[in-house]
Amino acid sequence: MGENEFFNEMLTAEGNPRAPYRRLAEWFGKMSPAEMRKKSREAETIFRRLGITFAVYGTSAATERLIPFDIVPRVISAAEWRRLSAGIDQRVRALNAFLHDIYHRQEIIRAGRIPADLIVQNEAFLPEMIGFAPARRVYAHIIGTDLVRVGENDFYVLEDNTRTPSGVSYMLENRETMMRMFPELFQQNRVAPIDQYPDLLHETLESVAPKNCEGDPTICVLTPGIFNSAYFEHAFLADSMGVELCEARDLYVEDGKVWMRTTRSPQQVHVIYRRIDDAFLDPLTFRPDSMLGVPGLFDAYRSGNVTICNAPGTGIADDKAIYAYVPDIIEFYTGQKPILKNVPTWNCSREDDLAYVLDKLPELVVKEVHGSGGYGMLIGPTASKREISEFSKRLKANPTNYIAQPTLSLSACPTHVASGLAPRHVDLRPYVLVGDKVRITPGGLTRVALKKGSLVVNSSQGGGTKDTWVLED
C-alpha cells in the first residue's frame, strides 16, 4: 500500500465523519487553529507539572523527556470494542494455559504443535519454574496486548506483552487531562470510564494471594528505583492502589517469607507486583551481581509464601519467535479459532524463511526476537540501501535473533499538528488483568506516530499518545 492508502478511522472515503466520530468532528470543526494550539500548550503544561516523563536510552546518557500528548482522542465504537475484548480475553486465557503447560507436562510439545527447541532453548524459558504452579495457575496477571488496525473490521495483534508491560499510567493521565480540559466533550459523548483501573489492579493482586494468607494480603510494588524509565508509573500505581512502593533494600526474606521493613515492626508481604526483569529478581537464584533483587525471594515464592506478579518465566509467552505459534496455542488450549488475527511472521531461524526475508528485505519489517521499544528493528520500505545491506549482514550472522513481518498499512487518526488536523498512524495497547477473573479496561493506550508517514509509534522513537474512547451503547 502507498502512503496515502490507509484506513482513516475518522473519515470515510468520501470525507464524511464515521458514526463514532460524528460529534467529535462537529466539535473540533468549531475550534479555530489558535484555540487548538492554546489547548495543546495547556495539555503540555499539565503533563510537565505532573512530571509525566520517560527515559530515552541508547544515547550517550539516558535523558528524560516529556511524553508528547495529542489532544484529539481516538474513538472506538461499542460494537468494535466487544469484538476486541472477546478476542483479547480468549488470547490471555490461552497464553496462561500455555505457560502452565510448558512448565509442567508440555502437552503442546508432545502433540508436535510447537518445536521443543523453541521452548527449552529459549532464553526467556526459566527451568527454575518447572513443576511449580502459582496461585490460581495464573502466570501473566498484567498484560498489554498491542493491536493495529488496517481496515474497518480488520485488527491484528502485533505483540503480547506478558512480562512487565508499561504505559498504563499514561492511559490514566491522558483521560484525566482530557476531562479537565474538555468537560463538555464528555457530556456530549458516552465514554466508558477507565478510572477504576487501580482498584481493579488491586482486586486482581488480592485475588492471587497465597493460600496460606490469612486476612487481607499485604501488597507492594517492587521497582528498580528512580533511574528506571518507568519509575513515574511505578510510583503512580503504588500511590493509586494505596500500597507501598519498595526497592530491594526495603524487603528481606526470613523463615521462607518476605518481609517489608517499616518504621514500626516488619510486615509480611504476600503479593509483589514486580517491575524488575527476571534476571535481577533474586541474586541467589539468577544473576548474582543483581543489586535490584531480594536474596531468597525465589525460594519464598516456590514455597508458596508470596505471589510474584507477573510470574518469573512469563516472557516465553511474548517471545517474538513464539508469537507465530499463538494461533495454534489458542486452538490447542481453547478448541476455538482465534478471534483476533496474527500478523504473518517469518522466523529467520528457519532456512527457507531466512532466504525469503533476505530476498524481500526492502518490503519487510524485521525485529529482534527479544527486542522492545522500537530498538534494533528495520523498516524496509523507509530504510536506505546502506541500512538494508548492513541489516542483511546482521541477519546472516545471527538469524535466530530475528523475525520478519510484512509492512502493515496502519490505520490513521486525526492528530493536531502545526498545520491543523492531519491523519497520523496509530496502534493500541489495551491493558488486561488476570486473577480470579479477566478484567479488561475499555480502550487502552493509543500511541501515535507524530511524523508524517511514519509507522513507528514508540515514544522512544518520537511517537506520542492519545486518550482512547470506547463509546457505550
Residue 198 above 50 pLDDT? yes
The mean pLDDT value for 288-312 works out to 97
The whole-number pLDDT of residue 53 equals: 60
Whole-number average pLDDT of the chain: 92
Cell 517492587 -> residue? 222
Q: How far is CA 369 from the centre of its chain?
A: 16
Domain range list for the chain: 19-210+306-341+408-470, 211-305, 344-406
The whole-number pLDDT of residue 3 equals: 44
Which has more pLDDT, 369 or 78?
Answer: 78
> Could you say which DSSP state residue 227 is in?
T
Residue 285 above 60 pLDDT? yes
Rounded CA separation 116/108 (Å): 9
Burial class, 196, CB count within 10 angstroms (exposed 0-12 / middle 13-18 / buried 19+) = exposed
Query: Is residue 208 within 8 Å of residue 98, measured between CB atoms?
Result: no
The whole-number pLDDT of residue 59 equals: 47
Q: Is there a cis peptide before residue 310, judged by omega within 30 degrees of 0?
A: yes
CA pseudo-torsion sign 363, 6, 463, 273: negative
The whole-number pLDDT of residue 371 equals: 66
With bands split at pLDDT 50, 70 and 90, how would you rate the model's confidence at 2? very low
The whole-number pLDDT of residue 48 equals: 82
Residue 1 above 50 pLDDT? no
The whole-number pLDDT of residue 64 equals: 63
Give me the architecture of the 211-305 domain, per CATH. Answer: 3-Layer(aba) Sandwich (3.40)
HEC-encoded secondary structure of 304-357: CCCEEECCCCHHHHHCHHHHCCHHHHHHHHHCCCCCCEECCCEECCCHHHHHHH
Residue range 37-67, pLDDT digits in tens: 999 999 988 888 876 665 554 544 455 667 8
Residue 179 above 60 pLDDT? yes
Say which residues have a Cβ less than 8 Å from residue 265's Cβ, sequence separation at least 6: none
Say which residues have a Cβ less than 8 Å from residue 313's Cβ, sequence separation at least 6: 99, 103, 124, 125, 126, 128, 129, 139, 278
Rounded CA separation 185/87 (Å): 29
Q: 128: which 3 cell numbers?
A: 527454575
Same fold, 211-305 and 344-406: no
Strands 307-309 vs 271-274: parallel, antiparallel or unpaired: parallel
Rounded CA separation 85/438 (Å): 10
The whole-number pLDDT of residue 56 equals: 53
Rounded CA separation 235/246 (Å): 9
Per DSSP, helices labelled H in 155-222 are: 168-181, 183-188, 197-207
Q: Which of 146-160, 279-293, 311-325, 457-471 has the least mean pLDDT? A: 457-471
Residue range 254-268, pLDDT digits in tens: 999 999 999 999 999
Give me the architecture of the 344-406 domain, per CATH. Answer: 2-Layer Sandwich (3.30)
The whole-number pLDDT of residue 376 equals: 75
Cα 143 to Cα 92, 161, 173, 232, 327, distances in angstroms: 8, 6, 19, 19, 18
In 402-460, where do the E strands start and end? Answer: 402-406, 412-417, 420-429, 431-434, 438-440, 445-448
Q: How many other CB atoms are found less than 10 A from the CB of residue 254?
A: 11
- Which residue from 422, 472, 465 is spatially nearest to 444, judged by alpha carbons? 465
Name the percent of the chain lying above pLDDT 70: 94
With bands split at pLDDT 50, 70 and 90, how would you rate the model's confidence at 89? very high
Per DSSP, helices labelled H in 151-196 are: 168-181, 183-188
Q: Inter-axis angle of helices 168-181 and 231-241, to 10 degrees?
A: 70
Query: Is residue 330 within 8 Å of residue 336, measured between CB atoms?
Result: yes
